[in-house]
Amino acid sequence: MSKKGYFTELYVGGKSLLVGLGVTFKACLQPIVTVQYPREKLDITPNYRGHIELRRDPESGECPCIVCGMCARACPSGCITVEGEKKEGEKGKTLTVFALDFTRCSLCGTCVETCPKGAIDFSQDYNIAGFTREEFHYDLIRRLEERG
Amino acid sequence: MMESLMPELIRMVVAAVLVVAFVFLNAMIMGYLERKLSAHIQRRPGLMEVGPHGILQLLIDGLKLIGKQLVIPEKSDHFLFRLAPVLSFAPVVLPFIVIPFSRKLVIRDLDVGLIFILAISSLNVLTILVAGWSSNNKYSLFGAVRSVAQNISYEIPMLLSLLAVVLMTGTFSLQGIVAAQGKIWFFLIQPIAFITYIIAGVAETNRAPFDLPEAESELTAGYHTEYSGMGFSLFMLAEYANMFIVCSIATTLFLGGWRGIPLPFGDYSGIIWFFLKVYGLMVFLVWIRWTYPRTRFDQLMNFCWKYLIPFALVNVLVTAVLVKVL
Amino acid sequence: MSEAQAPLHHRFHLNMGPQHPSTHGVLRVILEMDGEYVLNPQPVLGYGHRMQEKMAEARAWPGFYPNTARMDYAGALHYNHGYCALIERLAGIEVPPRAEYIRVITSELNRIASHLLWYGALLLDLGAFTPILYTFDDREQILDILEDITGSRLTYCYFRAGGVSRDIDDKFVERTRAFITRLRSRFPMLEKLVNGNVIFLKRVEGVGIIDKDMCQRYGATGPVARGAGVPYDVRRAEPYSVYPEFDFEIPVGENGDSLDRFLVRFKEMEQSLRIIEQALDRLPDGPVMAKVPKKLKLSPGDVSFAVEAARGELTYYLISDGTEVPYRMRIRVPSYSNLSVLPELCHGMLLSDLVAAMGSLDLVIPEIDR
Ligand code: SF4
Ligand code: SF4
């Protein structure tokens, strides 16, 4: 403090304050950068990783899952349950249960990477809310059927 | 006897109602301006939801605050805790008595108007102390103690800067001071006094960068940490009204009061000019608040003693000499 | 103010946190005070403890990927990086060069995002509300870029042992270049608004001086040590990934006060931009993932790996008994050592200075608690 002179300090300090005022004044005249969320929404990137979702094979229109259970074993949080049953006259198993406990999912993407058939994918849902835990226990087969 | 008193009584009641109503209105206007301006400075739109551009938001907020429960901490001094917000209201209402809004619109033009305002508004610090003490919370107490030290020290440069104007005009009456600014407004003759007064005024109203008594990153909310509902809103009302008073003194003493280029509204143009100037100053204070960080306590005091008081003192001396000589 | 001057009956305790506006997160500091002077601040930890290390010891090693991002939420990619590099070192996996470049680019973007967040938060601690919104505006651009490539905005789980989970595209390169130009053009504005502001300078100049000796005693690293004039940066001291290929400076301070720490971080942002630019220019083609067996048993032995996180040196240490599940995992986080200077640093300070000094340490509490 004593290094600088009394008046120099006053001048330098005062000038820096005025410069600061100038910055905020300029900002005041510039356009708004925020998005008014519930009224406007930004497009979310297609690469967004929401909770997982079963997907259909674009050619056959069927879900290619072979009920191998790799995804369920790979999931670090143990939130996938896969069950299937053997049907007469068909090769392999048919998927009967594919449940996701989203309350425990950490959105890591390991399941999607391990699936040998590419049967699962990320959804684009990001604003999900609910009152009970059960609302986040998803039955992915039903969701797949609902999507048509 | 009664008959001659009646009009006076009616005048007083009307004035009291108007002043209290204005204090509420002022808080709403300032609350809105502050939130809108800070939003635009930060490049967001701010209030948008209630009413066009959110102008009714403050009304809703007021209703919400009235509807809220006043939580009284168990270990606090209940009586003082309730009293403090009410008490904070008195010193901000009384100065309105002498403020000249226009050539004619003034409740009472006292001869000692300026002294009256300064005396009353220094009571403000008492209510903050009472609030901080009675809350029985260390953060509140810190806020209160800081506020006392700050307000009392900054009263000195404030008085000194006003004194320079008083020396020039030779009157304490606010109308008299406005009348003396017929040719030239005093902030041109007394720039140092004007700047000193504005800085001291910011400190007196406890606003950033001197908002130490309510420094939220240090003291959560300072002296009104424990207040909720109406208790809290009374403090807010008082803060904004206090700002209004500080700015209207600045307007009256330095910016020519209600004077201005005549507008086609006859006598009302004075009122318009007055409010334009006062709100202009208040917007300036808001702008400052949203630009700067907060000072530290000892720096605040240093600034007062090292810069403001010497400058104001020299200014008063020079003014006195010049008044005598010229 | 020394203790001799403050009689015992004048002292009192002030509880700062766990919910307090300037103890970002859930840090609690018990302050022994004499008036406004802090005599003995004692941090209390553990409000956000989640047993991250134990979790690593209870599952196969790939299962720990998502956890790494949950420690330091402001600079998650460095934690990703450290963990993946640790496994690679243990298993002897060679990472394709393109993947290394992508790692460096995204990590440096993340470092800038973390510094921008801290920049605003420090100013908020000092009572200026506006800068944080400006820096958030810039930070948002980084988050958008990273979201597009990693799929999440904050708790990334992007790096994998052997590479990265997804390749970058031209759009990413373009956006990153645009961001570099944008951020460079924003620095002068911040310099005018904050760095030169007299009130700000008075608040941080000479406040909270940490000298070299203190850094050594407490193991403080990162910008805290560099602010004290110790040019220690893991990217230089123990180069990892492709950092040796880039030309960048390590800014250091002189006095070790809060201002120096502030300036070090501010200059680091520019250096990170330089690294990103060089990396984008030389980005090689090729795969982004090495061949890693699906089921990889960790070979027995112990291994450690250090990276330069946004807050300082981050070390993972792992002991393996030859199974898929780590036998012991230890994580050395920078904020923990940086916080431990607090009692000595803030002895005899004003309360306002404590807030400034603590802000300049850039603490992330979930990282300390783990
Ligand atoms: S994203 Fe991760 S945590 Fe979620 S279900 Fe898939 S593997 Fe499990
Ligand atoms: S989704 Fe994929 S990994 Fe999971 S059971 Fe079906 S085929 Fe196997």
Q: What is the pLDDT of residue C5?
A: 58
| 3-class secondary-structure state, position B59 | helix
Determine if ligand 2 sits within 6 Å of the CB of residue A63. no
pLDDT of residue B258 exceeding 80, the answer is: no
Q: Per this entry, what is the length of chain B? A: 326
DSSP string computed for C207-230: SS---HHHHHHHT--HHHHHHTT-
State the virtual CA torsion across A12, A18, A22, A28 in degrees, nearest 10: 140
Name residue C163's beta-bridge partners: C160, C289
Mean pLDDT of A121-141: 83
Contacts of A77 in chain C (CB under 8 A): 66
Place of tokens 């006259």: A89
Q: Burial letters for A108-138: b for 16+ Cβ neighbours within 10 Å, e otherwise?
A: bbbbbebbeeebbebbeeeeeeeeeeeebeb
Tens of pLDDT, residues A36-86: 888 888 788 888 888 888 888 777 777 788 888 888 888 888 888 888 887
Q: Answer whether residue A7 is part of any domain.
A: no
Q: Please tell me what DSSP assigns to residue C289.
A: B
The stretches of B170-296 forming alpha helices (DSSP H) are 174-180, 186-189, 191-204, 216-219, 229-254, 268-289
pLDDT band at B1; cut points 50, 70, 90: very low
Q: Cβ separation of A23 and B291 shorter than 8 Å?
A: yes
Which of A6, A34, A39 to probe by mutation at the B interface, max B CB count within 10 Å? A34
Could you give the maximum distance between any two Cα atoms of chain A, in Å? 96
Place of tokens 């708790």: C155
Radius of gyration of chain C (CA): 21
Q: Answer whether residue A16 is part of any domain.
A: no
Q: Answer whether residue C279 is part of any domain.
A: yes
Q: Answer whether residue A122 is part of any domain.
A: yes
How many domains does one find in chain C?
1
Six-digit token pair at C357? 């000094």
Where residue A104 sits, what CATH number does that domain have? 3.30.70.3270
Place of tokens 């990413």: C172
CA distance B141 to C36: 11
pLDDT of residue A3 exceeding 60, the answer is: no
Q: Name the nearest CA neighbour of B233 among B31, B15, B17.
A: B31
State the virtual CA torsion across A72, A73, A75, A81 in degrees, nearest 10: 20
From residue C266, alpha-carbon distances to C90, C229, C273 in Å are: 35, 15, 12
Q: Cβ separation of B293 and C21 shorter than 8 Å?
A: no
Q: Name the nearest CA neighbour of B253 among B193, B211, B206.
A: B193
How many domains does one find in chain A?
1
Question: What is the domain range of residue A125?
Answer: 52-147
Q: Answer whether residue A34 is part of any domain.
A: no
Mean pLDDT of A9-34: 82
Q: Answer whether residue C1 is part of any domain.
A: no
Contacts of A30 in chain B (CB under 8 A): 43
Angle between helices B229-254 and B113-121 in degrees, nearest 10: 150
Q: Residues 6 or more apart from C66 whose CB is under 8 A from it?
A: A76, A77, A106, A107, A108, C155, C157
State the virtual CA torsion across C63, C66, C70, C73 in degrees, nearest 10: 150
Residues having CB closer than 6 A to ligand 1 are A 52, 75-77, 79-80, 105-111
Q: Answer whether residue C2 is part of any domain.
A: no
Q: What is the pLDDT of residue B92?
A: 81
pLDDT band at B98; cut points 50, 70, 90: confident
CA distance B261 to B269: 9
Q: What is the pLDDT of residue C233?
A: 85
Q: Please tell me what DSSP assigns to residue A54.
A: E
CA distance A84 to C61: 28
Question: What is the domain range of residue C60?
Answer: 8-368
Mean pLDDT of B10-32: 83
Q: What is the pLDDT of residue A100?
A: 85
Q: What is the pLDDT of residue B132?
A: 83
Where residue C29 sits, what CATH number does that domain have? 1.10.645.10
Q: Answer whether residue A100 is part of any domain.
A: yes
CA distance C365 to C45: 8
Q: Answer whether residue A6 is part of any domain.
A: no
Mean pLDDT of A85-91: 73
* Mean per-residue pLDDT over chain B, rounded: 82
| 3-class secondary-structure state, position C37 | strand
Shortest-distance Cα residue to atom 5 of ligand 1:
A105
Q: Cβ separation of A107 and C59 shorter than 8 Å?
A: no
Q: What is the pLDDT of residue B2?
A: 53
Contacts of A9 in chain B (CB under 8 A): none
H or E stretch including C55? helix C52-56
Nearest ligand 2 atom to the CA of A120 is: 1
Q: Which of A20, A33, A47 is nearest residue C197 as measured by Cβ atoms?
A: A20
Six-digit token pair at C20? 């307090």
Q: Name the nearest CA neighbour of C261 among C307, C215, C199.
A: C215
Place of tokens 């109308």: B175
| pTM assigned to the model | 0.86
Name residue C15's beta-bridge partners: C30
pLDDT of residue B22 exceeding 70, the answer is: yes
Q: Answer whether residue C54 is part of any domain.
A: yes
Backbone dihedral angles phi then psi of residue C31, each to the nearest 5 degrees: -105, 130
CB C355 within 8 A of CB B293: no
| 3-class secondary-structure state, position B227 | coil
Region class of A21: left (phi > 0), else alpha (psi between -120 and 50), else beta: alpha
The pLDDT tens digits along chain C (370 residues) read 444 555 666 788 888 878 777 777 788 888 888 877 888 888 888 888 888 888 888 888 888 888 888 888 888 889 989 898 888 888 888 888 888 889 899 999 999 999 999 888 888 888 888 888 889 888 988 998 888 888 888 888 888 888 888 888 888 888 898 999 988 888 888 888 888 888 888 888 888 888 888 888 888 888 888 888 888 888 888 888 888 888 888 888 888 888 888 889 988 988 999 899 888 888 888 888 888 777 777 888 888 888 888 888 889 998 888 888 888 888 888 888 888 888 888 888 888 888 888 888 888 888 888 8
CA distance C321 to C298: 8
Q: Answer whether residue A69 is part of any domain.
A: yes
H or E stretch including A138? strand A137-139
* Start-to-end CA span in chain B (Å): 49
